[in-house]
Structure 1
């Protein structure tokens, strides 16, 4: 199969490869590759003890050379806010983008009878917020984006090509090239023609994940002589669940397993390109997911959209030769905002003047530290999503204790995750003092970040 980059990307890659001078100190900087799957929950990759039918050997290879994070969290229960948090280092609540950007304009979830309505949420990522890509670009990195963006306006499903406003595409947030990033939250087509204005079509019927994997390999090959950063966010394994025909057949007709294997093959293409260009030993590779899975995890409660663990816990591994000790695990809770300072500090930059940041540098954990200087993690999802058990609410996680505040939609709850990983036993009445302390910290954080709260229930019209 022959892969062809879009003409603007070819011109750009050729230009930067011949015109940008780099010092020896700069070439020693680590390359950074950030791969984020879509809707992939724990239990669906080889490195976290998954079903033996799952075939993800390339992710398993990363685990053998890196650190698996057993308590990795997404900043939100759905995709757009997590993606915004990764780019900016700010929580969705601070950004004001707290739910997925709707593919259909005005797609607000219906409030339960007598219950609060959705809070307002932004429909695109503001251009004036921090971006790790901009910071890396300042540090003389070549920056590229490939895959799903979903931060560029509502109503994408009504477009012919996924473009609502191109001013909100990745190239305006510090990425020097963009393949695939537009307003789409899911692909219009998994097979070429892709009906996406930011992707040049491949051969008829070519599978999108394969196409994006080839684009990632081409980016690495074109830029390996200077420090580079690649954000590769495949659309997989989002619905509609459709895998490439050869892998569907290989997996006994199972489209989901085929999609997982195709995703892993894309990771393999990245690794192969790094090996071919002799850059693997100087590259940090992060694999992560944007929220819990739409396929449930056996040992976690609920799924995507929920503030229980199944909605926010995600698979994560980081491989960084010379820094990570292969085959190790870390049980310290980490989250989406941590990638910004981790990437910028690894590149030799500083974040001291970016006061909005809520994340922490993960390098100490990658080197074997047993904790971070962080008291708690917070979530805020002021939206209705009644297809899961615990949706509208705010939560705080401190150690093994997790408090859920339901904003009048669901009853408040206190869980001990060590004793009750499935979050079945509400200990609120048994530990009122602890619950009060956690509630105070949660309210303090909501105030600090100026979180938008649910709107009051609409008054019901009187019957005549």
Structure 2
């Protein structure tokens, strides 16, 4: 089989050592002769505890997500690769960490210069945000491109936020259409542009990639309809759907009837609307007879914009509240219904998982950092990985543990601060809210993790925070 050869772009990508799984043999073992369809659903700014399968509030109504979870596996320690959206999305698509891609914070709608002035750092003599990409280089790996090469039809629906800065100044969210999903292996794109949040939740959407069709229609409803229709139209051959919902990002708005049904809570109404979109997709799979041969993933791009009960801080933080996300996966014949996994997993893992499941071999693609999750789907209790890493060299208003990097090894998380927050060491099992740093009591462990983190940052050629002098040099040049 001819394989697309990915041109390694100039970020000094190192070869990865992830183990691959023979997807064809696995399919035979599970009596699946056809390539599995793959559906990847991602919510926006949804922390754990805000859906029924791991929720804490009786007022939450997400029965379709509970239906998905009951058919498959819930991951209790799923992490986003970054505490904000764009970097996590880039890591999902490329199979690499945000630090390796060079995309470490969101592409600001107001533009980078204005955003830097707003969040502080310039002129203070302290750390200034590292330079970050605002789009993905076209030659970077893409799971959609790989799936297309393997014979899949591929479609993107929803929020992309990987297509340039300054979308607030655009009438339709388009900064450069060459950075849209259709240039990264997707056959079609509805909704994906530079927007990080909807210009309008209701039709007319003022989004250049979504044709208006019914005035007042809610965006989440439209995206669910379109994804379901795509499944119905392409069910005769292997298909892939990426449905990255704009929900539940601000502004918090939902249809009036749903708000009323949720006791006046627009946020709970948004959760229910999101769940209804998931239900449309699951129904389409059932009605077309493709559900039994479809891998479905539900995930979120970062921790909640609303705090998660029992976890510290929220979106924008390198503590658990900014990184932990809800995750459920269904794959009939492979995953035991109603199962649970407590192994830490993260965003780059989806790339090799999807490619190997489709009959490809992700190990031939240079630079990937993700691990194939299939062993966990089939009962393994660990992956060939001892640590997870994060690099967020950026300020975030109201967040203490931003502007730093961190490593999670087992139950130990070491945070390296670049700004006003000092280095810290937490045990996330005994202290899940990360209230007390024990770095003074464990100096040798902290130093070992510090060295390990530093080596990783060097290996991926991470872009580091800047100073006022850097900007003066740029001006002189």
Structure 1 length normalisation: TM-score?
Answer: 0.92
Q: 1:434 to 1:42 in 2, by over 3 A?
A: same
Aligned match of 1:253: 264
Q: Deviations over 1:71-103 (max 9, x none)?
A: 000000100000000000010000001000010
Aligned match of 1:8: none
Aligned partners of 2:187 and 2:33: how far apart in 1? 19
Once structures 1 and 2 are overlaid, which stretch shifts more, 385-394 or 68-77? Answer: 385-394
Once structures 1 and 2 are overlaid, which stretch shifts more, 25-34 or 154-163? Answer: 25-34
- Conserved? CA contact 2:32–2:293, under 8 Å: no
Aligned partners of 1:32 and 1:70: how far apart in 2? 22
Residue 373 of structure 1 is aligned with which of 377, 384, 388? 384
Q: Deviations over 1:235-290 (max 9, x none)?
A: 00000000111101111110000000000000000011001100001001000000
Residue 333 of structure 1 is aligned with which of 336, 344, 353? 344
Deviation at 1:193, TM superposition (A): 0.3
Aligned match of 1:390: 401
Aligned match of 2:438: 427
Q: How does 1:45-444 map to 2 (within 5 A)?
A: 45-105=51-111, 106=113, 107-108=115-116, 109-111=119-121, 113-444=124-455
Q: Deviations over 1:83-125 (max 9, x none)?
A: 0000000100000010000101222231183321011001111
Aligned match of 2:17: none
Q: Deviations over 1:19-71 (max 9, x none)?
A: xxxxx999701000000000000010000132010000000011111110000
> What are the ranges of 5 or more consecutive residues in structure 1 without an aligned counterpart?
1-23
Aligned partners of 2:417 and 2:395: how far apart in 1? 11
Aligned partners of 1:281 and 1:187: how far apart in 2? 34
Aligned partners of 2:377 and 2:243: how far apart in 1? 21
Aligned partners of 1:235 and 1:309: how far apart in 2? 22
Aligned match of 2:456: 445
Q: Deviations over 1:354-395 (max 9, x none)?
A: 121000000000111100000100000011113212110000
SS at match of 2:86: helix
Once structures 1 and 2 are overlaid, which stretch shifts more, 101-110 or 430-439? Answer: 101-110
Deviation at 1:458, TM superposition (A): 5.1
**RMSD of Structure 2 on Structure 1 (CA):** 1.6
1:31 aligns with 2:37: yes
SS at match of 2:362: coil
> What are the ranges of 5 or more consecutive residues in structure 2 without an aligned counterpart?
1-27, 473-477
Aligned partners of 1:382 and 1:425: how far apart in 2? 23
Q: 1:228 to 1:26 in 2, by over 3 A?
A: farther
- Conserved? CA contact 2:157–2:191, under 8 Å: yes
Deviation at 1:436, TM superposition (A): 0.8
Once structures 1 and 2 are overlaid, which stretch shifts more, 227-236 or 99-108? Answer: 99-108
Once structures 1 and 2 are overlaid, which stretch shifts more, 389-398 or 406-415? Answer: 406-415
- Conserved? CA contact 2:76–2:340, under 8 Å: yes
Q: Deviations over 1:328-348 (max 9, x none)?
A: 111100000000000000000
SS at match of 2:425: strand
Aligned partners of 1:305 and 1:409: how far apart in 2? 16
Aligned match of 1:12: none
- Conserved? CA contact 2:76–2:341, under 8 Å: yes
- Conserved? CA contact 1:137–1:174, under 8 Å: yes
Alignment length (residue pairs):
438
Q: Deviations over 1:184-232 (max 9, x none)?
A: 0000000000000110112110000000000001100010000000000
- Conserved? CA contact 2:387–2:410, under 8 Å: yes
Q: Deviations over 1:407-434 (max 9, x none)?
A: 1431000000111000011111100000
SS at match of 1:352: helix
